[in-house]
Amino acid sequence: MSGIRPNELDERLEAASRGDLFLLDIRPKSAYRSKAIENSHNIPVYGDLRRGDESTLRDRLDEIPRDAEVVVVCKMGMVAKRATSLLDDEGYDAATLTGGMSGWTGYQNGSLGYKIRSLVWNLR
C-alpha cells in the first residue's frame, strides 16, 4: 500500500490525461459537497470503513475503474488507508492521499502546518 503527498498529487493531476488517475473521495456526501478536489468521485463509505465494515465499498467496486491509478481521499488519510488496502487486495493500483483533505487544503493554502508536515515526510 502506498501513499501520495499533496504536492505529488498536484503534479500528477497536471500531467495525467483523463482516465489515467481516478480520485476516490470516501468522505460523507456533506463533507464532499462542502469541499472536494476537482474531478474527484464521491463514494461515501467513510463511516462504514471507520467501523471496520468493508461491505459497502466492496458492493461499489464496479464504480471504480480498474485501468486507472486510484488515489483515495478522506478527512486525514487514516480511513483512506483501509480503502486503499482493500483496493490493493482487489487488484487495483491504489494509493492514499497523505494527510487527506486536511493535507490537500494545507498544501493549497501554503499553511505552516503543511510545511512542517512536509519537512517531517521528507525526513522519513
Q: CATH number of the domain at 90, please.
A: 3.40.250.10
User: In the structure, what pLDDT confidence band is assigned to residue 108 with cuts at 50, 70 and 90?
Assistant: confident
Q: 72: domain range?
A: 2-123
Averaged pLDDT, 78-101: 96
pLDDT tens digit sequence for 24-42: 999 999 999 999 999 999 9
Distance in angstroms (rounded) separating the CA atoms of residues 57 and 43? 8
Computed over every residue of the chain, the mean pLDDT equals 90
Q: In what order do the strands lie in the sheet with 21-25?
A: 2-4, 93-97, 69-73, 21-25, 41-42
Residue 91 gets which letter from DSSP? T
What are 104's three cell numbers? 490537500
Whether 106 shows a pLDDT value over 70: the answer reads yes
Tally the domains of the chain: 1
The answer to whether residue 9 scores a pLDDT higher than 90 is yes
In the three-class reduction of DSSP (H, G, I as helix; E, B as strand; rest coil), residue 124 is classed as coil
Across the range 90-112, mean pLDDT stands at: 90
Does residue 40 sit in helix, strand or coil?
coil
